[in-house]
Amino acid sequence: MFGGGSITLFHVRGIRIAVDWSWFFVLFLVIFWLSEFYGDVLGESGSSAAFGLAVLSAAGFFGSIVLHELGHAFAALRNGIGISNIQLWFFGGMARLDRDSDSPSTEFKVAVAGPLVTLAIVVVLTAVGLLAVGTEEFRKAALVESDAGVSGFVAMIAWLASINLLVLLFNLLPAFPMDGGKIVRAIAWWRTGDRGAATRFAANLGRVFAYIFIGGGLLLIFAGDAFGGVWLALIGFIINGSARAAAAQTTITSGISKLSVADVMDREPVSIPDDLTVERALDEYFLRYRWPWFPVVDAAHRFLGLVVRDKADEVPESSRTTSYVSDLLEHDDGTFQVRDDTPLDALLSSRALRRFGALMAVDAEGRLSGVITVEQVGRALRDASRR
């Protein structure tokens, strides 16, 4: 779905904003369609002014999609979940989280953040339009009626308000994995205390809506609206596939649903004190264990970050007795660590765990309590499947 060929547009607070090739096709369709609409509004069909408004509208639409996904992203970051990137594609956008939420409240906060941003966009644009031309003219412009009697700028504001309202309503449908479906899963998870059961419920509900979309799309095709019908049916097929995949993953991981990180982690991790000299760190840790990096802790055994062998080797030999591990520390922003009471199945989608091969487990006070590796998670899955 999001395979290869993505193009980076820009970065926001370290989050990569990229586009899939299919995004350009939608961009072309939006500009082509809106150019005709603005030509009718301005009475200048095919003019450069109509084309310019269409381009601005397309940019505004995709900008609002980015803001929607940034709402999810910032909510995730506030709850300790990393974001690898945001990708725009044929049907909108998706914020790729480094891992699943570890509690119903976190799931709800992350899921509802995007719709709240879109709601704010709708409210602001509607207020501007109503102040500019009044209720009736703005309503006609929002319904893309060429005889609305408004300026090109107001027509653009009205269209952006209406398209964002459609995005908001569509996203709030309880069809997992859309935002509404994730909100449903969070509520079901909170009520039952069982992430797996909540995911299966939301996924099954999502499949029901997927079949409704597919059926609706076929009806539109038979009614003569081939473009709208194909579009709606494709959305249905994608939702159905995603919901089936979520349900299948839940079935596979149900055997570890009661396990936490603390149940399988190594409880005696080798760590380096931050006040140790670089010379002793090399002699007593790197040369002894032959590992490329070690977790670093302070006097209270709180996890501070990582020290990497390459950085230690770069310190001149004459300075190694007066340089300390704390000088080489790669401070952790939450990427390298996980709470030891985190459900084990929450790590199955952890990009950080797959990338680094291990995560530092910390307790509620931030003290290093263990190390969890990819091999340990895989072993737990295999043991569960045998049972």
Rounded to an integer, what distance in angstroms lies between the CA atom of residue 10 and that of residue 70?
A: 13
pLDDT higher than threshold 60 for residue 3 = no
For residues 237-250, average pLDDT: 83
What local confidence, expressed as pLDDT, does residue 41 receive?
Answer: 75
Q: Which pLDDT score is estimated for 5?
A: 56
Q: What does the pLDDT average to over 251-268?
A: 82
Note the pLDDT tens digit of each residue in 348-380. 777 778 888 899 999 989 999 999 999 998 888
Over residues 274-305, the pLDDT tens digits come to 999 999 999 999 999 989 999 999 999 999 99
- The segment with the largest mean pLDDT, out of 46-50, 113-117, 336-340, 362-366, is 113-117
Residue 341: which CATH number?
Answer: 3.10.580.10
**250 and 279 within one domain:** no
Q: What is the mean pLDDT of residues 233-250?
A: 84
CA 319 – CA 278 distance, rounded (Å): 9
Does 2 fall in a domain?
no
Asked if residue 326 and residue 285 are part of one domain, the reply reads: yes
Does 1 map to a domain? no
> pTM for this one?
0.71
> How high is the pLDDT of residue 146?
62
% of the chain beyond a pLDDT of 90: 42
Contacts of 241 by beta carbon, 8 Å cutoff, 6+ apart: none
Residues of the chain above pLDDT 70, percent = 95
Phi, psi dihedrals of residue 377, rounded to the nearest 5°:
-65, -45
Residues 82 and 101 in one domain: yes
Spatial CA neighbour of 34 closest among 10, 61, 14: 61
pLDDT at 2 over 50: no
- How many domains does the chain divide into? 2
Domain shared by 20 and 162, yes or no? yes
Residues 226 and 303 in one domain: no
Q: How confident is the model at residue 182 (pLDDT cuts 50, 70, 90)?
A: very high
Mean pLDDT score across all residues of the chain: 86
Yes or no: say if 209 and 174 are a contact pair by the CB < 8 Å rule.
Answer: yes
Does the residue 286 lie in any domain? Answer: yes
Based on the fold, state whether residues 292 and 338 are members of the same structural domain: yes
Q: Give residue 347's pLDDT band: very low, low, confident or very high (50, 70, 90).
A: confident
123 lies in the same domain as 31: yes
Question: Are residues 185 and 285 located together in one domain of the fold?
Answer: no
**34-48, 170-184, 321-335: which range is least confident on average?**
34-48
Secondary structure letter of residue 254 according to DSSP? G
Choose among 89, 87, 85: nearest CA to 26. 89
**Domain of 334?**
261-386
* Alpha carbon 131 to chain centroid, angstroms: 35
The 10 Å Cβ neighbour count of residue 224 is 8
Cα atoms found within 13 Å of the Cα of residue 343, Cβ hemisphere only = 20
Are 206 and 303 in a shared domain? no
Is there a single domain that holds both residue 214 and residue 287? no
Instruction: Let me know if residue 78 belongs to a domain.
Output: yes
Confidence class for position 45, pLDDT limits 50, 70, 90: confident
Q: What is the mean pLDDT of residues 20-41?
A: 81
**324 domain-assigned:** yes
Residue 162 burial (10 A CB sphere; 0-12, 13-18, 19+) = buried
pLDDT reported for residue 109: 95
- Is the predicted pLDDT of residue 144 greater than 90, yes or no? no
**Residues 250, 270 share a domain:** no
Tell me how far CA of residue 3 lies from CA of 72, 232, 237, in angstroms: 22, 22, 18
Q: Give the pLDDT confidence score for residue 148 in this predicted structure.
A: 60
Gap between the Cα atoms of 272 and 254, Å rounded:
36
Rounded CA separation 331/48 (Å): 52
Give the per-residue pLDDT at 368: 95
Residue at which a domain ends, from 256, 277, 294: 256
Residue 249, pLDDT above cutoff 90: no
Distance in angstroms (rounded) separating the CA atoms of residues 5 and 20: 7
Predicted local confidence at residue 1, as pLDDT:
37
**pLDDT at residue 4 is higher than 60:** no
Could you tell me how far CA 306 lies from the centroid of its own chain? 26
Residue 369 counted as domain residue? yes
Query: Are residues 242 and 131 located together in one domain of the fold?
Result: yes
Beta bridge partners of 12: 15
pLDDT in tens, 94-104: 888 877 787 89
